[in-house]
Structure 1
Amino acid sequence: MSTQASASAPAVSSGTSASPAPSAPATPSTPFVEPGATQPTHGADRLLPLALAALGVVYGDIGTSPLYAIKECFHGLHALPVTPTNILGVLSLVFWALTVVVTIKYVLFIMRADNDGEGGIFALLALLRDGTRDGARQAPGSDDTTPGGAAKPAPAPSISRFRRMLPVVGIFGAALLYGDGVITPAISVLSAVEGLEVATEAAAPFVLPITIGVLVGLFMAQRHGTERIGRVFGPVMVVWFAAIATLGLMAALRNPQVFAAISPAYAVRFFMENHLHGIVVLGSVVLCITGGEALYADMGHFGARPIRLSWMAVVFPALMCNYLGQGAMLLADPELSFNPFFALVPRPLLYPMVALSTVATVIASQAMISGVYSLTQQGIQLGFVPRMRIIHTSEETRGQIYLPGVNWLLMIACVGLVLAFRESSRLAGAYGIAVTATMGMTSLLYYAVARQRWGWRAWQAVPLVALFLAFDAAFLSANLLKIMDGGWFTLLLALGIMILMLTWRDGRAALSARFAAASVPFGTFLDGVRRTKPLRVPGTAVFMSVNPTGTPLPLLHHYKHNHTLHQTVVLLTIVAESSPFVPRPDRLVVHNLGEGFHRMVARYGFMQTPRVPELVQLAAARGLPMRMETTTFFVGRETLLIGSGNRMAGWRKALFAFMSRNAWNATTFFGIPPGRVIEIGAQVEL
């Protein structure tokens, strides 16, 4: 039986969460926090530097939307006639989409649903997991009250009916974000490089090679870390936002009529005149808000305050100035609809603006890439994704990570997408479905968190979430009409990723059930040791176990075949918590079980990577004499056999076995020196 796989998929990941040892004290956990009450992760002295870096990472995606959003409305596959009513109507839709979806929904509300400073759909799902697993865990001494002393309301009955559905909603939303992470770099860079065609048609043959070269360079730079990249990209994005705001404002001031588009009356009139065609075009309008979900997912990299400051002070005003400017140009000359963004640029500045746009779209891709890194790390710790190599790239800011395997897979997918679609207009058909569907799922999960975790009443939560869902549903419906234009790719990719995640989760649950069935109560095992008094050899042996109360199967196999034990035997269980970070002092609990046996239960947040050498140091500080140079680690390596034991389909069992074989080595993942490891193999039938 494999303790290697078991240790990497803690109880929380398998869906069969085991309780700590009966003698274990309550584990300190993240206290209940009302929305908006979370303390800032970063100090005030780092607010402005982080706000600048956030411009280069968080807002790259939404900040470069002016390159293609208006263009797709009037020159895409479902283009509108370029009339004053349509121009002002589209501008009104853009303004209210940015105001309601990004400013109100994400910046003001969704970002308050942070999990110890972390954002993203998995962090939101973890809040619910924490609250639905035998009730929300509380800080010691909190009893059944909030920090303010008021009684904490019981979960609403309506929430419990959807409890089983919520993990699937979260997993599908995460899978859609992976699809968005593939499309965003491709469409952003391709749309910028296509600006060369505005200057000269002779540049057309070079658009694809330049795009691919830029994408490859971007992914090769990821190993330097998000914050370091952000420090380089941030000043460039300041120039970018200043440039697009200036160009847009100059054009808008020449035709002040466009400022009337701020009135929602023009949006209403737009739909009255265009009917179904207006709804189809709404699928292009959504391109102006496609970075909203990445904004929430990247919150752990920089913190909520820097992200909010950047949006309100720089990004939102600059975007609206540029969109209004593009509308003003179209009012003056409808023939410019083939690329209204570059129509704003004076001809002598066209080539520099193409270069700046290309750099800006490289930066735009960073928002989704870093978001995918965070999403993957959360998925690994929550048990939805197999182990992968994670590199922490900053000693100062938590959450700065790089995943080489994910990085190269994204690069291959992006380059393949560019070669397959070849034009940004064709890619626009595939863009939008992923992000709008994820936005809708985020709204549903936010409602569940508000009712269950924060104790909001229905009259408080329903109107707010109904407003969010009204926009989400409208944008998603419009994008579903683009399925045949390329949206099928996004849905197919998300469906494939969702199947992988669910297969890994269910496979781990089935494997954990087999381990539990084959396990022996530790009391029974210890009684046998007392009776037989086996030979004890010097040193310490550590057996990793998924169950913090039972007997590790590698220990049973070792004792059965060798009939010896080390003088000190440690049973180590690593559990993933539903909070992103567990403080170092609260990370390890050690129990003396007698006869030289000790049980160590280590708890890590879903944004942390377990490190066994650190646990050895913590154990020594708690009175358990352990040294790496005299400790032997016993881990299991199972060979999975496809049987007919559980309800999983045969093809899913085969897929799980393939994923398990290719998961990153547990010894390396947990930082155990290879020379201190003994693997015990076994065959397990699923």
Structure 2
Amino acid sequence: MQTVFSLDHHAVNPSHDDVMGIISLVFWSILLIVCVKYVSLVMRADNEGEGGILALMALLRRHLPVHSRLTGTALALGMIGAALFFGDAMITPAISVMSALEGVAVVDPTLTEVVLPASVIILTILFVLQRQGTAAIGRAFGPIMAVWFLTLAALGVPWIMRYPQILAALSPEWALRFVVDSPWRAFVAMGAVVLTITGAEALYADLGHFGTRPIRFAWFCAVLPALTLNYLGQGAMIVLNPRRISNPFFQMAPGWATVPLVVLATAATIIASQAVITGTFSVAHQASRLGLLPRFSVFHTSRKESGQIYIPEINWTLYIGVLGLIAVFQSSGRLSTAYGLAVTGTLLLTTVLFLLLARRSWRWPLPVVVLIGIVIGGLELSLLIANMLKIASGGWVPLVVAGAAILTMTTWRQGTAYVATRRAAVEGPLDDFITGIRDDRPVRVPGLAVYPHPDRVTTPLALRTNLEFNHVLHEHIVIASIINENVPHIAHSQRVQITDLGAPDDGIVYLECHVGFADSQDIPKAIALAGDLLPELQLRLAEAIYFLSVADVRPADASNSLPAASRCAMPAWRRMFYVALSRNQADRTKVFRLPRARSVVLGDVITI
């Protein structure tokens, strides 16, 4: 509300009709986009408990032909939406905490100088606490949020009682009248109205942390009523006291309550930032498991909820970005110009993917899909276009962040496909390798050797290298593949499949472990699950040696003898970027939960 009436816009006045129109726009934006779209519709598209635009994209792709054009379109939309979400996630903590702390200026304008250092200290503590996990933080934050929403409602009710005519703003007539009578002012105002629906995508992305029922219950029973009463109260106050537009939220409270309200608002915005941070962990993890980003060091912070994770690389990247934004913009008012494009872009892409899913997979009637697209999609498109006015004054920030994320995902996807092709040529067919073993009869030594490998088509580099250098093979060999499926979870009873390779008595088996993108890639656990099928593996699991195949990816130089047709099509700078990403991936012994003391790394060099 402060932003929409700010002098920078030179458009919206604190007059009766403008206030009624703005409050109506705010209410119906929240009702249509958050209530109808996300809470009522999109959250039906939970991908076996996981949410977020990538989970939605994976759910849609699972119902489409593998090589159809629509499948590629869904992947592209999901990548762009995830990239925009990363841009949103970097801005949200900075603008939220600063806007709350700026309330101290209502008490004493000289205290404005403490806003920046206090914001840095608070956000530093928040990012440090992420390692504790959602459940631990939630136990502390839950009571604060209950008090916060009760306070929002309590602030609005007295002003509504003073000016009950504000309740008429709940009618869409005022929003439509404002748009029709003052289309340009309404268009400019939409760039600020979008601030009232930020966090909706994070709500969906956090589905794996909390579940559908708790989110819906909290939204309809606490959040929506409190927000509605508060916005109505702010509108009533501005109609009665037009001069209070400088910081209407804090000026709703009596003078004695301003400082406690600043403290409470700061705590609430910290928690709002927490929701975006955990949502970013979920989206980054899904992107990695879908082959769009490198491996991350994922720590599961709950024994009960597999979706509760912590990713240090994402956590500290966000932290550095947030501090950079605070240093550059130095106030929530300036930073608000950078906000909106990422949010509205992600909103619109989620709508497109959801409607494709509803039509192609759920077989919703075409008129229903078209109606949702026109009403909700049209509103989101208008919000997106309105926010394009902010590009020059700060809207470029989320676009730069999103562009960097898209560049990273496309580089990783293209480079990985090239390396996989080159690696397959070096490894050679697995069936030929096993036939050679049967003919040459190398020395077999006691023990169990486990070779993690993507598939059963080619020979693990470590297996081939081990035989070439040591001229021996272990008595029992397991080639273990982790197969990532386009679902969040797969039951333990359905994860493991065992296939004999070569002769039944040669001790070489292929283990296939199917996991969802929210499951851990625990290879020792997969072998333990196969214990009923192969009891001898269970007996030797405690002494198993794990041989990791590593392709050391290096940039090609002038002496590279590869023919031009076999070289990677990416420019040299992107190949260098891919090499940097590859070398800084998470340690696979951690990803696969392998005992470091019994893990051996062998492999070959691949130039790109």
User: Normalising by structure 1, what TM-score?
Assistant: 0.84
Using the TM superposition, name which of 627-636 and 230-239 deviates more: 627-636
What is the aligned partner in structure 1 of residue 61 from structure 2? 129
Instruction: Say whether 1:663 aligns with 2:597.
Output: no
- The answer on whether the counterparts of 2:51 and 2:208 sit within 8 Å (CA) in structure 1 is yes
Listed as ranges, the matches of 1:33-182 within 5 Å are 70-75=1-6, 77-79=8-10, 80-132=12-64, 134=66, 160-182=68-90
Instruction: Say whether 1:677 aligns with 2:604.
Output: no
Report how far residue 541 of structure 1 moved.
Answer: 1.4
- In the aligned structure 2, how far is the partner of 1:348 from the partner of 1:531? 89
- In the aligned structure 1, how far is the partner of 2:431 from the partner of 2:549? 22
- In the aligned structure 1, how far is the partner of 2:519 from the partner of 2:90? 25
Cα deviations by residue, 1:594-630 (Å, 9 ceiling, x for unpaired) = 2221000111110122112212211223215223443
Report how far residue 517 of structure 1 moved.
Answer: 2.8
- State the SS of the aligned residue for 2:307: coil
Cα deviations by residue, 1:255-300 (Å, 9 ceiling, x for unpaired) = 0111111121211221233322320111101111111111111111
What is the aligned partner in structure 1 of residue 559 from structure 2? none
Instruction: Say whether 1:347 aligns with 2:255.
Output: yes
What is the aligned partner in structure 1 of residue 549 from structure 2? 636
Listed as ranges, the matches of 1:501-580 within 5 Å are 501-580=409-488
Change in 2 beyond 3 A, CA 1:76/1:393: farther
Instruction: Say whether 1:408 aligns with 2:316.
Output: yes
Identify the match of residue 510 of structure 2 among 599, 612, 616: 599
- The answer on whether the counterparts of 1:554 and 1:634 sit within 8 Å (CA) in structure 2 is yes
- In the aligned structure 2, how far is the partner of 1:76 from the partner of 1:565? 77
**Higher relative CO (CA 8 A, sep ≥ 6), structure 1 or 2?**
1
- The answer on whether the counterparts of 2:25 and 2:193 sit within 8 Å (CA) in structure 1 is yes
Identify the match of residue 492 of structure 1 among 385, 396, 400: 400
Listed as ranges, the matches of 1:577-592 within 5 Å are 577-592=485-500
What is the aligned partner in structure 2 of residue 266 from structure 1? 174
- In the aligned structure 2, how far is the partner of 1:568 from the partner of 1:313? 59
Report how far residue 106 of structure 1 moved.
Answer: 0.5
Report how far residue 390 of structure 1 moved.
Answer: 1.2
Q: What percent identity do the matched residue pairs reach?
A: 40
Listed as ranges, the matches of 1:365-444 within 5 Å are 365-444=273-352
What do you get for the CA RMSD once the two structures are aligned?
A: 1.5
- In the aligned structure 2, how far is the partner of 1:659 from the partner of 1:447? 35
2:511 counterpart letter in structure 1? M
- In the aligned structure 2, how far is the partner of 1:244 from the partner of 1:183? 23
Identify the match of residue 648 of structure 1 among 570, 582, 607: 570
- In the aligned structure 2, how far is the partner of 1:377 from the partner of 1:419? 29
- In the aligned structure 1, how far is the partner of 2:164 from the partner of 2:545? 75
Report how far residue 637 of structure 1 moved.
Answer: 2.4
What is the aligned partner in structure 2 of residue 608 from structure 1? 519
Change in 2 beyond 3 A, CA 1:638/1:515: closer
1:648 counterpart letter in structure 2? M
- State the SS of the aligned residue for 2:303: coil
Cα deviations by residue, 1:19-70 (Å, 9 ceiling, x for unpaired) = xxxxxxxxxxxxxxxxxxxxxxxxxxxxxxxxxxxxxxxxxxxxxxxxxxx1
2:411 counterpart letter in structure 1? T
Identify the match of residue 199 of structure 2 among 278, 291, 295: 291
- In the aligned structure 2, how far is the partner of 1:681 from the partner of 1:398? 32
Report how far residue 653 of structure 1 moved.
Answer: 1.2
- The answer on whether the counterparts of 1:541 and 1:633 sit within 8 Å (CA) in structure 2 is yes
Cα deviations by residue, 1:495-547 (Å, 9 ceiling, x for unpaired) = 00111111111111111111223343332222211111111111111122112
Using the TM superposition, name which of 272-281 and 116-125 deviates more: 272-281
Using the TM superposition, name which of 551-560 and 355-364 deviates more: 551-560
Report how far residue 457 of structure 1 moved.
Answer: 4.3
Cα deviations by residue, 1:202-256 (Å, 9 ceiling, x for unpaired) = 2011111111111111111212111221121111111111111011011011001
- State the SS of the aligned residue for 2:602: strand
Report how far residue 134 of structure 1 moved.
Answer: 4.3
> Gaps spanning 5+ residues in structure 2: where?
557-563
- The answer on whether the counterparts of 2:306 and 2:519 sit within 8 Å (CA) in structure 1 is no
- State the SS of the aligned residue for 1:185: helix
Cα deviations by residue, 1:58-116 (Å, 9 ceiling, x for unpaired) = xxxxxxxxxxxx11110152152211111000001011101111111011100001100
2:258 counterpart letter in structure 1? L
Using the TM superposition, name which of 191-200 and 224-233 deviates more: 224-233
Report how far residue 185 of structure 1 moved.
Answer: 0.6
- The answer on whether the counterparts of 1:226 and 1:400 sit within 8 Å (CA) in structure 2 is yes
- State the SS of the aligned residue for 2:182: helix
1:221 counterpart letter in structure 2? L
- State the SS of the aligned residue for 2:509: strand
- State the SS of the aligned residue for 2:3: helix
- The answer on whether the counterparts of 1:433 and 1:480 sit within 8 Å (CA) in structure 2 is yes
- The answer on whether the counterparts of 2:60 and 2:356 sit within 8 Å (CA) in structure 1 is yes
- State the SS of the aligned residue for 1:572: strand
- The answer on whether the counterparts of 2:61 and 2:71 sit within 8 Å (CA) in structure 1 is no
Change in 2 beyond 3 A, CA 1:582/1:384: same
- The answer on whether the counterparts of 2:453 and 2:549 sit within 8 Å (CA) in structure 1 is no
- In the aligned structure 1, how far is the partner of 2:514 from the partner of 2:498? 12
- In the aligned structure 1, how far is the partner of 2:89 from the partner of 2:121? 18
What is the aligned partner in structure 1 of residue 529 from structure 2? 618
What is the aligned partner in structure 2 of residue 44 from structure 1? none
Between the two proteins, the alignment pairs up a number of residues equal to: 593
- The answer on whether the counterparts of 1:430 and 1:490 sit within 8 Å (CA) in structure 2 is yes
Report how far residue 483 of structure 1 moved.
Answer: 0.7
What is the aligned partner in structure 1 of residue 561 from structure 2? none
1:117 counterpart letter in structure 2? G
- In the aligned structure 2, how far is the partner of 1:129 from the partner of 1:166? 7
Change in 2 beyond 3 A, CA 1:313/1:105: same
Report how far residue 563 of structure 1 moved.
Answer: 2.4
